[in-house]
Amino acid sequence: MKKSIKLIALFLLFQLSALSTFAQDKAQQIEQLLAKYNEYGQFNGSALIAENGKVILKKGFGSANMEWNIPNQPDTKFRLGSISKQFTALLIVKLAEEGKLKLDVPITTYLPDYPKENGDKITIHQLLTHTSGIPNYTSAPNFFKDKARNPYTPAEFVKTFSSLPLEFTPGEKFNYSNSGYFLLGYIIEKISKKTYEQYLQETVFTPLKMVNSGYDHSDVILKNRAAGYEKHGKQIVNAAYLDMSIPYAAGSLYSTVEDLYLWDQALYTNKLLSQKSMESLFKPYIKAWAGFYGYGWSTYEAPNGENSKLNIIEHGGGINGFNTIISRIPADKKLVVLLNNTGGTVLGEMNIAIRAILYNQPFNQPKKSLALDLLDIYNEKGAVKGTETYKKLKNDTSYAVKEGDMNRVGYQLLQDGKKKEAIEVFKINTENFPKSGNAYDSLGEAYLADGDKKSAIVNYKKSVELDPSNEAGKKVLEELSKGKTK
C-alpha cells in the first residue's frame, strides 16, 4: 500500500513537472513572438498571458516613455479605450441586480431631460448592446478637430448628440456607438448619486484591490503612466491631446496587465455580481462583427484544430496613442491581455498567434508591415513611385499587407493633402481585402475628397453591400444622391 501511495505521488509530481515545463515552453514561444512584433515596430507595450487561471508570462516591451527611455513593465499604466465599456456594463447590471434600475424601460425613466422623441424609444439594454440607433459621437465630422480637446460635464456633452436623428429603429440592428456608453455613465451618476469615477472605484476597483486602475485625468500626476504615441509610417510622434471627459464611461479608464488579470479572475466568481447577473454580461444578444455582442463584451467561436471550436469572450480598445485587447477563454481559464502605447496596431493578429501557441496549434510568424515602408515612398516620391514600390515588394515573403496599417497610412496621406496617393493606398487595401466593407468605405472617402463623386458612389455602395451596418456610408450615399456632399 505504501509503495502504491509513493508511486502515485511520484506520478503526480512528474505530471506537475511536465505541465510546468510545458507552460514554460509556451511562455518562451510567446515571449519570442512578442519580441519579434516589437522588433518590427508593431508592439510597444505590456503583455500578460494566463493558462488554467495561472500567469505564465507578464512582460513589458519597448518604452513607456521614449523621451526618457523608460521601459514598459507589467505595472505600467495604459489608457484602455473601449475596454472601459465592460466595467460600465457591470456597474449597470449591478444597479439592476439591486433593483435600482430596469434594463427594459425607456432611458427617459432615468434621464427625464433627454429628448422624449428618441429617449422614449430607447432602453438601457439597447444602450448596452449598441442597438439604440443613437449616432456614434466619435464618428461625427470634425469631431476630433472641434470637440475632442474641450472639457465637458456629462450633462453638457449628452446635449451634443441627444437631439440628432436616430440612425435606425432602436433594437433593429447593431451599430457600435460610444454615445450609448456615455449615456450609461450618465445614468449611473443619476441613480448612484455619485460620480461615475467614485461609483466604479467603490464597486469594482477597491473590492478587487485593483490599485493601479482608475479614471484617467491628464492633470493628475500618475506614477508609471505610459505616454501615448502614434506611428506616422516608421516615425513615432506624440499622440494628439484628448480631454478625458470626452470618452468618459465609453473609454476613459487606465489599468495595467496585472490589474486586468485580477479583473479576469473576479469574473469567474460572485464577488461583484450574482451568477445569473454575471452570465448576463456574456450572452450573445445581437449579431455583431464576426460573432455576437453581450454587455460590454463581444463573443465568438474560433477554430481549435480541425474538429473543435473555442468560445472566446473579448473586447478591444483604441484611444489616442493606445491600442488594447483583453481576450478570455473561460472553458480553460486562459487569458491574453495586450496593452500598446503606439496607437493602432495588429493586436488581433498577435492574439490569434498567442492563442495558437496556447493550444499547440500552428501559427503565422510576424512579418514586417509593408504599409510602414510605403508611407515614406508615397510621401516623398508620389503616387506612381509608391505603387511601383508596392508591386515590387508585395511578393517579398518578409512583408505582409496589413489592413489596419494600410488604412492608417491612407488616412495619414489624406490628412496631409496627398489625395492621389491616399487613393492608391486604399486601392491596395481593397485588392488585398476584397470582403472588407471598411476598405471600400475608406476608398470612397478618398475619392470624394478628390472630387470624384462617381468613383466615391461606386465604393460606398460596395462598402454598404459588404457591411450593411455601415450607417455612415449609407448617409454619405444619401447625401451624394441629393447633391449635398461637396
Q: Are 250 and 84 in contact (CB under 8 A)?
A: yes
Write the pLDDT tens digit of every residue in 121-150.
Answer: 999 999 999 999 999 999 988 898 888 999
pLDDT of residue 145: 84
d(CA 110, CA 101) in angstroms, rounded, equals 8
Give the C-alpha distances (Å, rounded to integers) separating 24 from 6, 178, 296, 365.
Answer: 27, 40, 33, 19
Say yes or no to pLDDT of 9 above 70: no
Q: Are 219 and 187 in contact (CB under 8 A)?
A: no
pLDDT band for position 13 (50/70/90)?
low
The mean pLDDT of 428-438, rounded to a whole number, is 96
Pick the range with the lowest mean pLDDT from 51-55, 98-102, 232-236.
232-236
How far out from the chain centre does Cα 188 lie? 23
Give the C-alpha distances (Å, rounded to integers) separating 261 from 50, 125, 297, 301.
Answer: 8, 27, 16, 22
Say yes or no to pLDDT of 337 above 80: yes
Say yes or no to pLDDT of 235 above 50: yes
User: Where is 182: in which H helix or E strand?
Assistant: helix 178-192
Pairing of strands 253-255, 70-71: unpaired
Tell me 366's DSSP state.
P
pLDDT of residue 469: 80
Give the C-alpha distances (Å, rounded to integers) separating 13 from 25, 55, 406, 429.
Answer: 18, 20, 51, 53
Indicate the residue type of 349.
Answer: E
User: Where is 461: in which H helix or E strand?
Assistant: helix 453-466
C-alpha cell at 301: 467561436
Three-class SS state of 11: helix
d(CA 213, CA 255) in angstroms, rounded, equals 4
Say yes or no to pLDDT of 118 above 80: yes
Write the pLDDT tens digit of every residue in 361-401.
Answer: 999 999 999 998 898 899 899 999 999 999 999 999 999 99
Q: What is the rounded (10 degree) CA torsion for 168, 474, 424, 228?
A: -30
Q: Which of 351, 357, 368, 424 is nearest to 391 (CA)?
A: 424
pLDDT of residue 233: 82
Q: Are 86 and 281 in contact (CB under 8 A)?
A: yes
Q: 24 or 21: whose pLDDT is higher?
A: 24
The mean pLDDT of 298-316, rounded to a whole number, is 93
Say yes or no to pLDDT of 203 above 70: yes
Unique residue bearing C-alpha cell 460590454: 296
pLDDT band for position 4 (50/70/90)?
low
Say yes or no to pLDDT of 7 above 90: no
Q: Are 330 and 311 in contact (CB under 8 A)?
A: yes
- pTM listed for this prediction: 0.91
pLDDT of residue 152: 96
d(CA 458, CA 168) in angstroms, rounded, equals 23
d(CA 321, CA 451) in angstroms, rounded, equals 31
Secondary structure (DSSP) of 284-307: --EEETTEEE-SS-EEEEEE-SSS
Pick the range with the lowest mean pLDDT from 10-19, 63-72, 208-217, 370-379.
10-19
C-alpha cell at 358: 496556447
Residue 241, number of CB atoms within 10 A of its CB: 12
Q: List, in sequence order, every beta strand (DSSP E) within 19-132.
A: 45-51, 54-61, 63-65, 70-71, 78-79
Write the pLDDT tens digit of every residue in 253-289.
Answer: 999 999 999 999 999 999 999 999 999 999 999 999 8
**Domains in the chain, start-ordered, CATH in brackets?**
81-358 (3.40.710.10), 369-481 (1.25.40.10)
Burial class of residue 317 in the structure, from the number of CB atoms within 10 Å of its CB (0-12 exposed, 13-18 middle, 19+ buried)? buried
